[in-house]
Every structure is written in structure tokens, then in C-alpha cells.
């Protein structure tokens, strides 16, 4: 099949981004647009987590100052700091679009998260979310059990344990239960990494339950991050069969699979360390180009616009004509050799140590993006 050399992807959306705060925010926020993304759904895992109305308004304003043409959709961090009243007020004021749920302790700044074995304390909040069409974004992993505690020697059944390979699959029953208890609540299983998760979303087969897929999980398997902390993220990339299932889902044309990069920048010093490497892969500055490469390899470039535009925006009920959209410029994907920089840095920012190693640093991609004024 002959491939087009230029594709208008429209007003694109990345429904899972980490923009941090402080100098890292200054460095990273402009790269959303550089990477070909118009609408960014912003994660709330700052320190402290975003759980207050004035806090989320201030954060959004800071982001808009750094990238006036990017549309930022904001989120709260699900924790005991939230109340149904607060969530209702935030919904009415339209300051948040959804709420992110982190199981306690599974990834960067998730220590304030919840126990995925029992969401019932949060049911009053989910009721309000359902009423106001707020999205519930799930980091779908159970926390690993502490293997050091296992001092009896006869536990040969891996299903007794939660480890990084079964953490996502072990979470899926909680997803089914949430959907059953709140059939009208819009739920996104974020950055899914397993064939089991893909199968679960297809089985639920609802207009209210979707999954985001990152760019890097379309490339990586366990071999790529073992020994390469730059590729280490949570959930970890898994086996070849899982990667295949993710690719098939991304190019399937099914509306419940859409793009969320989970681009998660960390200072290089937190990735180049022999202990406690921060989890996260930074892909923002070439987000769409990484995807194009994979879609091209599988003869599916015609499915890319659905994945990075229509499906996510439909699920989130976003229209290009909405007044919240900051710019109606469209993204043009075109064939051009495009070398990923070795480091993301900004000489204007004082701290020289604030550099980020991007995914596939130094490698050459076949696609680039440019913007066309609306």
C-alpha cells in the first residue's frame, strides 16, 4: 500500500501528560506543541498533589503562560483530601475535567494514593463525577507485595504475590467492579501495557470505558528497559505478546483505544542512578512522530488521526468549536528525517543540571510535525 507523505491530523489530543512544576514545568510545557499535540490532559501528581480549586486554577494559568496555544485540561488527585462537595464545586466551575486515581505507592508521587482493593470510601465522589460527566482516570496497577516478608518457603504460586508483571492484570477485577457499580461513569484505564488489559476493555465494550496507550509501550518490551533506566516506567513494558496486543489495539480503529503519552520527564540525575530510578519515559517533544513510525510499519497511517484526535476527544466530549480550545491550528505530519535530541534542555533556565533524556535519544525518526494556522 502506498503511504501518504503528509497527513493533516487536525486538533490533536494527548490524554495523559505530566508537566511537573517549577523549572521542569518551564522546560517541558512548550514541548507539548513541539511534539504535535494541541490538547493536553494534565496529571495532578505534583508535590503536594492537586486537590484544591485555587491550586488547579493557578497551575493551569502557569501552564498557559508557558504555552498559550496549548489547551490544558486539568485533573484532581483522588485522595482523602477530596470531598463530594469540593468535586461538585470544581465540576460546576469547570476547573477540572477528571480525577486521577493512583494506587498508593506504585509510581512517581503516588504515596497519597488509594487502596485499589477497596474503592468504596470514594463512592460518594464517583456518584458526583458520574452526575457531572467527570472522567475517572485509573492508574491500573496493584501495589507489589513486599517479597522480603515471605519467610515461608512453600509459596510456589505467583498469583499469591503482586509483582510488576502481574500488577496490571491483578487490577482488572477492580475495573470491572467499578464499571458495574457506576455504569454511567466514564473510566479510562491509563497507559495499559498488557494483552489482558486490552482484552478487558474489549470485553467491557462500553462507550464509558476506554484505555489510553502510550507511544513508548508500542516500542518496548522488558528487554529494552532492563539495563536501560531511561526506558523504565510504571507500568513496566512487558512481553512481546503484550506489545503486539497494544499495537493491534492502537491501530484497530476501535474508539475505546486512544492516545495518552504518559510522557513523564525526570531530571537525568534521577534516571542515571544505581538505586531508586524514577519511573517515567519522556516522549512529549516527539509524541506524534514516535506514533507515526509504528503506524507506518503496520500500514495503518490512515488510523492515526482517530487515535490522536477523534476517539479521545469523543470520549472526553470535546469539540474543536468549544470555547475552551485555545487554538484551532491543525497538526501536519510529514515525512522528514527527524533526529531525537540527546537531551532536552533550556539554556535560559538557570539550573544546568535540569536536563531530560528523551525516549530514543539520538535516533532518527522518519516523521516530523508542523502546524497549520486555522
Applying CB under 8 A, the residues found at the interface with its own copies are: 144, 147-148, 150-151, 153-158, 160-161, 163-165, 195, 219, 221-230, 232, 236, 239-241, 243-245, 247-248, 251, 268, 271-277, 279, 297-298, 357
Smallest gap from Cβ 244 to Zn ion, in A, equals 23
Kindly state the DSSP code that residue 354 receives in the 8-state scheme: -
**Residue 337 contact among its own copies, Zn ion, none, beta carbon within 5 to 8 Å by kind:** none
One DSSP character per residue, 91-135 reads HHTT--SEEEE-BTTSSTT-TT-B-TT--GGGHHHHHHHHHHTPE
Nearer to Zn ion, 10 or 113 (CB): 113
Smallest gap from Cβ 13 to Zn ion, in A, equals 16
94-133 binders of Zn ion (CB under 5 A): none
Written in H, E and C, the secondary structure of 131-173 is HHCCEEEECCCCCCCCHHHCCCCCCCCHHHCCCCCCHHHHHHH
- Nearest CA to 192 among 122, 123, 242, 149? 242
Helix axes 240-250, 195-204, angle to 10 degrees: 40
Nearer to Zn ion, 242 or 262 (CB): 262
Smallest gap from Cβ 229 to its own copies, in A, equals 5
**Residue 101 contact among its own copies, Zn ion, none, beta carbon within 5 to 8 Å by kind:** none
Smallest gap from Cβ 34 to Zn ion, in A, equals 20
**Residue 225 contact among Zn ion, its own copies, none, beta carbon within 5 to 8 Å by kind:** its own copies
- Nearest CA to 112 among 132, 82, 156? 82
Give every CB contact of residue 218 below 8 A, 6+ residues apart in sequence.
243, 246, 247, 250, 290, 291, 294
Smallest gap from Cβ 150 to its own copies, in A, equals 7
Nearer to its own copies, 266 or 305 (CB): 266
Give every CB contact of residue 330 below 8 A, 6+ residues apart in sequence.
8, 9, 10, 11, 371, 372, 374
Nearer to Zn ion, 232 or 367 (CB): 232
Nearer to its own copies, 158 or 351 (CB): 158
**Residue 251 contact among its own copies, Zn ion, none, beta carbon within 5 to 8 Å by kind:** its own copies
- Work out whether 141 is an interface residue with Zn ion (CB under 5 A): no
Cα dist from 244 to 165, 194, 198, 252, 260, whole Å:
16, 9, 11, 12, 18
Count of C-beta atoms within a 10 Å radius of residue 348: 7
Smallest gap from Cβ 354 to Zn ion, in A, equals 20
Nearer to Zn ion, 168 or 262 (CB): 262
**Residue 118 contact among Zn ion, its own copies, none, beta carbon within 5 to 8 Å by kind:** none
Nearer to Zn ion, 39 or 128 (CB): 39
Residue 31 half-sphere exposure toward CB, CA atoms < 13 A: 28
207-266 binders of Zn ion (CB under 5 A): 262
Nearer to its own copies, 275 or 373 (CB): 275
**Residue 262 contact among Zn ion, its own copies, none, beta carbon within 5 to 8 Å by kind:** Zn ion
**Residue 317 contact among Zn ion, its own copies, none, beta carbon within 5 to 8 Å by kind:** none
- Work out whether 168 is an interface residue with Zn ion (CB under 5 A): no
- Nearest CA to 210 among 167, 169, 168, 260? 260
Cα dist from 60 to 28, 64, 97, 105, 364, whole Å:
14, 6, 12, 26, 33
Give the chain's end-to-end CA distance (angstroms, integer). 30
Smallest gap from Cβ 327 to its own copies, in A, equals 34
Kindly state the DSSP code that residue 183 receives in the 8-state scheme: T
Smallest gap from Cβ 1 to its own copies, in A, equals 14
Smallest gap from Cβ 169 to its own copies, in A, equals 13
Distance CA 123, CA 181 (A): 9
Contacts with Zn ion, residue ranges (CB under 5 A): 262
Amino acid at each position: 500500500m502506498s503511504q501518504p507523505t503528509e497527513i493533516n491530523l487536525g486538533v490533536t489530543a494527548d490524554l495523559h501528560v505530566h508537566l511537573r512544576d517549577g523549572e521542569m514545568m518551564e522546560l517541558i510545557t512548550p514541548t507539548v506543541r513541539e511534539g504535535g499535540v494541541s490538547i493536553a490532559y494534565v496529571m495532578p501528581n505534583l508535590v503536594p498533589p492537586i486537590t484544591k480549586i485555587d491550586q488547579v486554577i493557578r497551575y493551569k494559568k502557569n501552564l498557559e503562560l508557558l504555552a498559550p496555544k496549548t489547551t490544558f485540561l486539568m485533573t484532581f488527585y483522588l485522595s482523602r483530601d477530596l470531598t463530594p462537595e469540593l468535586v461538585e464545586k470544581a465540576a460546576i466551575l469547570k476547573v477540572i475535567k477528571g480525577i486521577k486515581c493512583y494506587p498508593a505507592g506504585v509510581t512517581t508521587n503516588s504515596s497519597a494514593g488509594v487502596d485499589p482493593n477497596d474503592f468504596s470510601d470514594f463512592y460518594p465522589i464517583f456518584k458526583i463525577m458520574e452526575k457531572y460527566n467527570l472522567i475517572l482516570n485509573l492508574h491500573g496497577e496493584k501495589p507489589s507485595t513486599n517479597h522480603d516478608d515471605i519467610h515461608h518457603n512453600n509459596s510456589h504460586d505467583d498469583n499469591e504475590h503482586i509483582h510488576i508483571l502481574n500488577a496490571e492484570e491483578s487490577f482488572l477485577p477492580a475495573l470491572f467492579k467499578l464499571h458495574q457499580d457506576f455504569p454511567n461513569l466514564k473510566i479510562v484505564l491509563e497507559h495499559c501495557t498488557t494483552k489482558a488489559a486490552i482484552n478487558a476493555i474489549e470485553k467491557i465494550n462500553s462507550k464509558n470505558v476506554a484505555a489510553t496507550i502510550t507511544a513508548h509501550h508500542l516500542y518496548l518490551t522488558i528487554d529494552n528497559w532492563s539495563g536501560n533506566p531511561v526506558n523504565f516506567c510504571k507500568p513496566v513494558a512487558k512481553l512481546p505478546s503484550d506489545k503486539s496486543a497494544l499495537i493491534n489495539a492502537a491501530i484497530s480503529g476501535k474508539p475505546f483505544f486512544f492516545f495518552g503519552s504518559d510522557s513523564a520527564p525526570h531530571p537525568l540525575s534521577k534516571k542515571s542512578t544505581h538505586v531508586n530510578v524514577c519511573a517515567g519515559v519522556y516522549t512529549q517533544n516527539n509524541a506524534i512522530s514516535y506514533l507515526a513510525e509504528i503506524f507506518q510499519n503496520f500500514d495503518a497511517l490512515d488510523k492515526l488521526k482517530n487515535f490522536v484526535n477523534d476517539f479521545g476527544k469523543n470520549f472526553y466530549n470535546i469539540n474543536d468549536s468549544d470555547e475552551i480550545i485555545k487554538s484551532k491550528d491543525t497538526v501536519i505530519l510529514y515525512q522528514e528525517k527527524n533526529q531525537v535530541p540527546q537531551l532536552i534542555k533550556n539554556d535560559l533556565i538557570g539550573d544546568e543540571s535540569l536536563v531530560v533524556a528523551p525516549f530514543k535519544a539520538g535516533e532518527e525518526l522518519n516523521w516530523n510535525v508542523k502546524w497549520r494556522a486555522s
